[in-house]
Amino acid sequence: TLRLIYTTTAVQRKNVGASGPEKYTEAFIKKQIEEFNLGKRHLANMMGEDPETFTQEDIDRAIAYLFPSGLFDKQARPMMKHPSEIFPEQRKIQWGEDGRPFHFLFYTGKQSYYSLMHETYEKLLSVQKYQDQLTAQDLPPQKEKRNLAGSRWLTKIELEEMLLEKLSDNDYLRFIQLLQKLMTLPRGDMEEKYIQKFTKEVPAQLQKVVIEPLKYDERGVAFSTGEGIRKTAKATATVYDNGTGKITVNGIDILHYFPVLQDREQLLFPFQFLDRVGKHDMICTVSGGGRSAQAGAIRLASAKALRSFVTEKEVEFMRQAGLLTTDPRVKERKKPGQEGARRKFTWKKR
C-alpha cells in the first residue's frame, strides 16, 4: 500500500457524489426479499385470498385497488414487485479474503467480456481442428441448415445486461464479427447451443394486409365491404359487381348528397383509376365530419372494398397512388398564448 505523505484540503474533503450509484450489499437485498414475501402474505390476508397461491398479477391488482392513482406514468404509480426486478443487478466483490481475485482475467478491467472472447475463440479453434481432422480423413464437408431470417444477434445493451459490464462499440463489433466467423464454418451441434445464447428470435414478420375474399349475396352477385376514416368522418362502403355505376350514400343518391363536383370526383376516383367506372354499384353509410371529409372517407372505404375484385399488381398500383392510405391529417389543437394552432397574437413593437 502507498503511504500518503502530503495532502491538500481538497483531497481530505469527502466527495459524496463521486462514489457512484449506491451499492447494495447482499445482506440488504436478502432483507428486502424477506420483507417482500412477508408483505405478500399480509396483502393476501387483507384481500381475503389464499397466501400460498398469490401470484404477481394478483399483487398488481390488489395494489391498484388499494392505492388508486391518476398519474399518467405507470412507473410513477405505487408498485410492489420482487426486489430482483427493482434493484439492478450489481457486481459483488471480485476477490476473496486473501486478496486474490476469483477470475483469471480480473486484471484486464473488462473480465466478463474478455473471458467471453476467450471462450468463443476456443470454440473456433476446436471447430477448425475438427475440420482439419475431417479433411485429413478425406471425408466430404458437412452441409447444414442455417435459419436465415428467424433470428438476430443480441444488441449492445442486451449484451451489457448479460455481462454486467460496460462495453464500447468496437468491443461489441469485434464480438459479433467473431460469432459470424464461427457461424460460417461447418460447425457441430455443440456450437449451435453456444451460439443460440447470443441470438434472439425475431417475433413476427411484417404484418401483411390480408385481402378478404369476395362474398356472394342472395341474388348471386359478388360484393365486398370496406371502411374508411378521414378527419372525424367514418364511412362504410359495400361494392357490388355487375352494376351500372349507381352510388347511394345514406339512402340518398350522390347527385343530391354531394351537390359539389369536387366531392363526386373524389368518389369516382378509385373506379376511374381501375377503369371500372360503370361496372360496379355502391351503397355506403357515412357519419361525422364535413362535406369534404365525408367524401374522402367514402373514397378510402370504396378503394379498400375494391381490393378484393382486383389482382395483386393493381392493389400495389393503388397503394402507390395513395388510394389505400388513411390520411393522418387532423385538426391541430389550439395552444395557450397563441390565438390558434399556429397563429400568434398580433405583435406590437411597443
118 near other proteins, judged by CB under 8 A: yes
Smallest gap from residue 88 Cβ to other proteins (A): 18
Query: Contacting other proteins (CB under 8 A), which of 93, 252, 321, 341?
Result: 93
Provide long-range contacts, Cβ within 8 A and 24+ apart, for 173-182.
Answer: 174/117, 175/113, 175/116, 175/117, 175/120, 178/117, 178/120, 178/121, 178/124, 179/120, 179/153, 181/124, 182/120, 182/123, 182/124, 182/127
Q: Are 324 and 304 in contact (CB under 8 A)?
A: yes
Query: Contacting other proteins (CB under 8 A), which of 34, 122, 192, 253?
Result: 122
Q: Which helix (H) or strand (E) holds 229?
A: strand 222-230
Query: Which of 121, 117, 184, 198 minimizes the C-alpha distance to 155?
Result: 198
Smallest gap from residue 48 Cβ to other proteins (A): 49
Comparing CB distances to other proteins, the nearer of 79 and 105 is: 105
Smallest gap from residue 6 Cβ to other proteins (A): 18
Smallest gap from residue 349 Cβ to other proteins (A): 58
Smallest gap from residue 129 Cβ to other proteins (A): 13
Comparing CB distances to other proteins, the nearer of 7 and 207 is: 7
Smallest gap from residue 118 Cβ to other proteins (A): 6
Comparing CB distances to other proteins, the nearer of 126 and 151 is: 126
Single-letter amino acid, residue 39 = G
Comparing CB distances to other proteins, the nearer of 107 and 345 is: 107
Query: Contacting other proteins (CB under 8 A), which of 39, 51, 88, 101?
Result: 101
Rounded CA-CA distance 114/80 in Å is: 37
Q: What are 284's strand-pairing partners?
A: 237, 249
Query: Contacting other proteins (CB under 8 A), which of 24, 36, 54, 106?
Result: 106
Tally of residues, the chain: 350
> What is the DSSP-derived secondary structure letter of residue 108?
G
114 near other proteins, judged by CB under 8 A: yes
Q: Which whole-number Å values give the CA distances from 192 to 105, 123, 165, 180, 185, in the listed order?
A: 26, 11, 25, 12, 11
Stretch that binds other proteins, among 35-43, 68-76, 91-99, 306-314 (CB under 8 A): 91-99
Comparing CB distances to other proteins, the nearer of 6 and 107 is: 107
Smallest gap from residue 107 Cβ to other proteins (A): 5
Query: Which of 79, 84, 104, 92 minimizes the C-alpha distance to 29?
Result: 84
11 near other proteins, judged by CB under 8 A: no
> What is the DSSP-derived secondary structure letter of residue 172?
H
107 near other proteins, judged by CB under 8 A: yes
99 near other proteins, judged by CB under 8 A: yes
95 near other proteins, judged by CB under 8 A: yes
Smallest gap from residue 163 Cβ to other proteins (A): 15
Rounded CA-CA distance 350/341 in Å is: 25
Smallest gap from residue 106 Cβ to other proteins (A): 6
Query: Contacting other proteins (CB under 8 A), which of 50, 104, 211, 253?
Result: 104
105 near other proteins, judged by CB under 8 A: yes
Enter the C-alpha cell of residue 86. 427493482
Stretch that binds other proteins, among 108-116, 138-146, 266-274, 285-293 (CB under 8 A): 108-116
Enter the C-alpha cell of residue 83. 426486489
Smallest gap from residue 114 Cβ to other proteins (A): 6
Q: At what angle do helices 261-273 and 312-321 cross, to 10 degrees?
A: 150
Query: Which of 153, 145, 147, 196 minimizes the C-alpha distance to 174?
Result: 153
Residues 147-176 that bind other proteins (CB under 8 A): none
Q: Are 254 and 237 in contact (CB under 8 A)?
A: no
Residues in touch with other proteins (CB under 8 A): 93-95, 98-101, 104-110, 114, 118, 121-122, 125
